[in-house]
Amino acid sequence: MKDLYAIIGNPVAHSLSPRVHPLFAAATGQELSYERVLAPLDGFVETVRAFRASGARGCNITVPFKVEAFQLATTHSARALQAGAANTLRFENDSIYADNTDGVGLVNDLENNLDFNLVGSRILLLGAGGAARGVLGPLLARSPKCIVIVNRTAARADELVAGFGNAGPVSASTFAGLTDKQFDLIINSTSASLSNKSLPLPAGVFAENALAYEMLYGKGTTPFMALAQSAGARSADGLGMLVEQAAEAFLVWRGVRPTTAAVLAALRAETGAETGTK
């Protein structure tokens, strides 16, 4: 029987992880199968336990379970500890190891695939959920000029700032507080675009040559990307982040890091999703 992995989330039907990992496996000569598992919103832990009991070796975690996944694990990587959220679990004999590869995935996509220089940049991070937690530390490690966090529930942005304030120049704002402010990189880590909802973002936030990064992928031009394009900014979806974070998760599970360019190009051709467009 092949080693079994899955992406667990709710919703999970949109995830392309079940396409990515078999392509990595083929490219690296590994044997595995990878499923998509929908967990009830109040049944994440039971779902993981049942999946593990079926003989599985590990899983990826998506909305809205990354913090629960972190709490379920018994050992954690440094980057998972920093985030307080996990997107990758590895099942071991008596323990569950948690990692968070979202941040390195985003940074690799921005710097290597999209040619964006994070050093000294002004970053606006929209959202304060599991994905925002995962990317904040790795973004700060690239020495941006500042990172401002805005979230619908302001208290969660404040909580993130309190947790990361010692790691660099990070602060919280409200959407109204963004008037007259400009950013070089605006990252949408909210799940608003999943339901095609737009965010109350002033058009003036996009600096000249700004990049608007939508973490979601596979939805075509989202309201956030459309706003950025109408303001003259470059926009990209999160397909590159998906592939880059998956490569790091594959390394955690299999001990080998696949190259990403061919897989990203194949998925880009399949989905027709957008990157780097104005």
Residue of 77, 108, 119 lying closest to 95 (CA atoms): 77
The verdict on whether 2 is a catalytic residue reads: no
- The answer to whether residue 235 forms part of the interface with ligand NDP (CB under 6 A) is no
Is the CB of residue 97 less than 8 Å from the CB of residue 86?
A: no
- The answer to whether residue 36 forms part of the interface with ligand NDP (CB under 6 A) is no
CB of 266 to ligand NDP, least distance (A): 16
- The answer to whether residue 2 forms part of the interface with ligand NDP (CB under 6 A) is no
- The answer to whether residue 64 forms part of the interface with ligand NDP (CB under 6 A) is yes
**Residue 5 DSSP symbol:** E
CB of 153 to ligand NDP, least distance (A): 3
CB of 107 to ligand NDP, least distance (A): 12
Is the CB of residue 186 less than 8 Å from the CB of residue 150?
A: no
Rounded to 5 degrees, what angle do the CA atoms 272, 220, 87 make? 95
- Closest-CB residue for ligand NDP? 129
Q: Report d(CA 99, CA 90) in Å as an integer.
A: 8
Residue of 278, 141, 163 lying closest to 149 (CA atoms): 163
Q: Report d(CA 61, CA 142) in Å as an integer.
A: 25
Stretch in the footprint of ligand NDP (CB under 6 A) among 58-66, 92-100, 223-231, 268-276? 58-66
200: which residues sit within 8 A by CB, 6+ positions away?
Answer: 175
Is the CB of residue 148 less than 8 Å from the CB of residue 201?
A: no
Q: Which residue of the set 2, 66, 197, 219 is catalytic?
A: 66
Judged by CB under 6 A, which of 73, 149, 170, 215 binds ligand NDP? 215
- Within 13 A of 251's CA, how many CA atoms are on the CB side? 15
Number of residues that bind ligand NDP (CB under 6 A): 29
- The answer to whether residue 190 forms part of the interface with ligand NDP (CB under 6 A) is yes
- The answer to whether residue 224 forms part of the interface with ligand NDP (CB under 6 A) is no
Helix (H) or strand (E) holding 242: helix 239-254
- The answer to whether residue 217 forms part of the interface with ligand NDP (CB under 6 A) is yes
- The answer to whether residue 47 forms part of the interface with ligand NDP (CB under 6 A) is no
Radius of gyration of the chain (CA): 18
- The answer to whether residue 238 forms part of the interface with ligand NDP (CB under 6 A) is yes
Amino acid identity, position 245: Q
Per-residue contact track with ligand NDP, 126 to 155, x per CB under 6 A?
A: -xxxxxx------------------xxx--
Per-residue contact track with ligand NDP, 82 to 121, x per CB under 6 A?
A: --------------------x--x----------------
Torsion of CA 218, 220, 222, 224, to 10 degrees: 90
Which residues contribute to the site for ligand NDP (CB under 6 A)?
63-64, 66, 102, 105, 127-132, 151-153, 156, 189-192, 194, 197, 199, 215-217, 238, 241-242, 245
Q: Which residues are identified as catalytic?
A: 66
